A and B are shown apart, each in its own frame.
Chain A
Amino acid sequence: MRLSGNGVVATREAFLEWLSRGRTFVTETVARRFRLPFPSVPTPKAVLLPQHEALYRFFWARRTWNVHPLPPEGTPILLLAAPCEVKAVTDVLDAVFLGNAPQDPYYATRRKNLILGALGCTFFEATCFCTRVGGHPLSREGADFFALPLSSGVYFEGEGVSGRPLASSEKEELEALVADLEKTAPPPFPEKTPEYLYEAFGCDIWEDIAWGCLNCGACTFLCPTCFCFDLALEGRLRGAMIRTWDSCMFPKFTLHASSHNPRSHPMQRVRQRILHKFSYHPLRKGVFGCVGCGRCVALCPVNWDIREAVERVVSCAL
């Protein structure tokens, strides 16, 4: 049980009215489960790290380069996301873009203006595996507020929405929900998974695991934690420096100027994606680089399943 239990129960109308006061977005996961009248974004990172972002404009004039940075507007945004998606921002993206100096000023500005709400999940979808990577469907860790739809209204923890204290029937409903989630929760990956995977780099199982993967970027682009980006100049004497998402699945991701490519083979790229999320990132930052939202599993054109891949590599290393 991760809920403090000291929240209130508000009516659905009051909750929606409060959400409608500002610029509110919901993630597609939330939009799919609860019909809410707000525009949706595919992942939280679409708000914090837009797929197309001009960092500065430049032009050549009077024999010199003129450069004008384009800092993002500081408009506050409220984003309602599933607990796993909140974790993706607070545990992974924040650590990458704000964890070390220098911080990314573009990300920092957007993050400062983001109100992040967690909407608890009442069940596990077939693709969900947050509990395998240290998350919980009712976690409010890192979120500015927490909401959970109950049969009688919306359970709310945080500031802004007023409501009445929980009735005993609602307390029972919450307890039943927690018990039910506990029963159906997928079990965590073994504790030493990052170490096992690190050891398994040279295993001959990788070719087999990677076979079938189309090497498209559907998983990485829709992943809430994948943060890799590319910088490219648009224009020659006048133009902009553009930041776009990049994907480790693409052959040119690691292409060197010398034309050497350390990950020229599709298998190496698949291995990199698994090891980065489940080995390198946790070994460095202490948390998995995956929050178990299951998007990559649900949206993969060939049903390539990262859960199975991790299990297979772990069993190979054991």
Chain B
Amino acid sequence: MTLHDAARKLLEEHKVQGVLGYRKGSLPFRTRPYLFRDPCEIEELVFNPFCGLNLARYLLFLPQGIERVAIVAKGCDGRACVALVRENRLRRENLLILGVPCPGMVDTRKLAEWEGLKEHEVTLRGGEIVIRGVAYPLASFLDASCRRCRYRSPLVYDILVEGGEVPSLPQEDTLRELRSLPEEKRWEFFRKELSRCIRCYACRNACPMCYCKECFAESHKPSFLHPSPTLRDNFVFHIGRAMHLAGRCVECGACERACPLGIPIATLFLAVSDTVREHFAFEAGVDVAAPAPFVTYREDDPNAFIR
């Protein structure tokens, strides 16, 4: 079944009250989230390589009257759904995962070089992106999170839609270069990038796993950091968020795409995810039943300090 047929059928048969998907935006290449409630609207549903937002973020902010919802999920949206179910934010039975294989999400900022580029001038062909008749390797247009993606199709789903060619891109270790640098150089990298942060919190608000009612960054009592974007406070915010997301980050890169200043902020979270993978053999949102590293107590824990 195609995505449109599946989504339309779900609404027509009242299996769900809404379908969370993407719709064409007001600017070339941009898509925007939309909650489809009427089967007639489904023809506006799109899924293309410009759907970089993680829709699972909206699952916790649904309008009233939506009890059961379907979500158009690429691999990382699917992982976020599983992670949210695992954290008891959602009931699995109220969620219908419409899995779509993901070709990798193109970083629209990288298309800015081509002045006045129209949507029909860009096509995807296998592992290549064709812009005005010239083919370029697709990987060079993807964010780090997509170049290193392990799960392009959702692992857990109710319906997997057909079609949607998934190019077999090599899985790249995007952090290798940064890791090979000496400590001072890595510090310099983060110092330079984080000093540009204006603390608009777009990264946090686009994150499907950042759902705290009150973020530590905005807490007044106690106050952990100052609202002004000094380097010191920026570090406290981003490192604090990285710690909160350790073992919970689904590596979607929505934070980085949301950043209005183009700070490669996902680097931090991807590095933490690698650390968790290495030490705990755990990946967030992959298995609903797997014990999560920081919330699981075992009497026979190999580490003595915790027993």
A70 within 8 A of B: no
Segment with Cβ contacts to A, from B91-99, B155-163, B197-205: B197-205
Which one, A212, A218, A246, A250, contacts B32 given CB within 8 A? A212
- B63, A207: Cβ atoms under 8 Å? yes
What 1/0 mask marks residues of chain A from 217 to 241 whose CB sits below 8 Å from any chain B CB? 1101110000000101010000000
B151 within 8 A of A: no
A304 to B260, CA, bound (A): 13
B76: chain A residues within 8 A (beta carbon) = none
- A221, B200: Cβ atoms under 8 Å? yes
Whole-angstrom distance between the Cβ of B153 and the nearest chain A Cβ: 24
Closest A-chain residue to B254, C-beta based? A301
Whole-angstrom distance between the Cβ of B176 and the nearest chain A Cβ: 28
| A interface size (C-beta, 8 A) | 38
Which one, A51, A207, A214, A244, contacts B202 given CB within 8 A? A214
What 1/0 mask marks residues of chain B from 182 to 205 whose CB sits below 8 Å from any chain A CB? 000000000000000011111011
Query: Known contacts A127-B27, A230-B227, A234-B226: does B258 contact A214 (CB below 8 Å)?
Result: yes
- B229, A126: Cβ atoms under 8 Å? no
B4 within 8 A of A: no
B174 within 8 A of A: no
Query: Known contacts A247-B200, A252-B218, A301-B53: does B206 contact A214 (CB below 8 Å)?
Result: yes
A127 to B29, CA, bound (A): 13
Whole-angstrom distance between the Cβ of A308 and the nearest chain B Cβ: 6
- B200, A302: Cβ atoms under 8 Å? no
B26 within 8 A of A: yes
- A302, B32: Cβ atoms under 8 Å? yes
A307 within 8 A of B: yes
Whole-angstrom distance between the Cβ of A53 and the nearest chain B Cβ: 8
A307 to B25, CA, bound (A): 12
Contacting residues of chain B (194-225) with chain A, CB-CB under 8 angstroms = 198-202, 204-206, 218, 220
A305 within 8 A of B: yes
A230: chain B residues within 8 A (beta carbon) = 227
B164 within 8 A of A: no
Whole-angstrom distance between the Cβ of A255 and the nearest chain B Cβ: 9
Contacting residues of chain B (41-59) with chain A, CB-CB under 8 angstroms = 53, 57-58
Main secondary structure of the interface of B (DSSP, over half): loop
A251: chain B residues within 8 A (beta carbon) = 218
Query: Known contacts A230-B227, A305-B26, A308-B26: does B258 contact A212 (CB below 8 Å)?
Result: no
A242 to B230, CA, bound (A): 11
- A212, B227: Cβ atoms under 8 Å? no
Contacting residues of chain A (9-60) with chain B, CB-CB under 8 angstroms = 42, 51-52
A205 within 8 A of B: no
What 1/0 mask marks residues of chain A from 106 to 142 whose CB sits below 8 Å from any chain B CB? 0000000000000000000011000000000000000
- B218, A218: Cβ atoms under 8 Å? no
- A299, B260: Cβ atoms under 8 Å? yes
B32: chain A residues within 8 A (beta carbon) = 212, 302-304
A211 within 8 A of B: yes
Contacting residues of chain A (173-228) with chain B, CB-CB under 8 angstroms = 207, 211-212, 214-218, 220-222
Between A and B, 13 residue pairs with Cβ closer than 8 Å are: A127-B27, A211-B63, A212-B34, A214-B202, A217-B202, A218-B260, A230-B227, A232-B226, A244-B228, A251-B218, A302-B206, A303-B32, A308-B26
Interface residues of A (CB under 8 A from B): 42, 51-52, 126-127, 207, 211-212, 214-218, 220-222, 230, 232, 234, 242, 244-247, 250-252, 266, 297-299, 301-305, 307-308
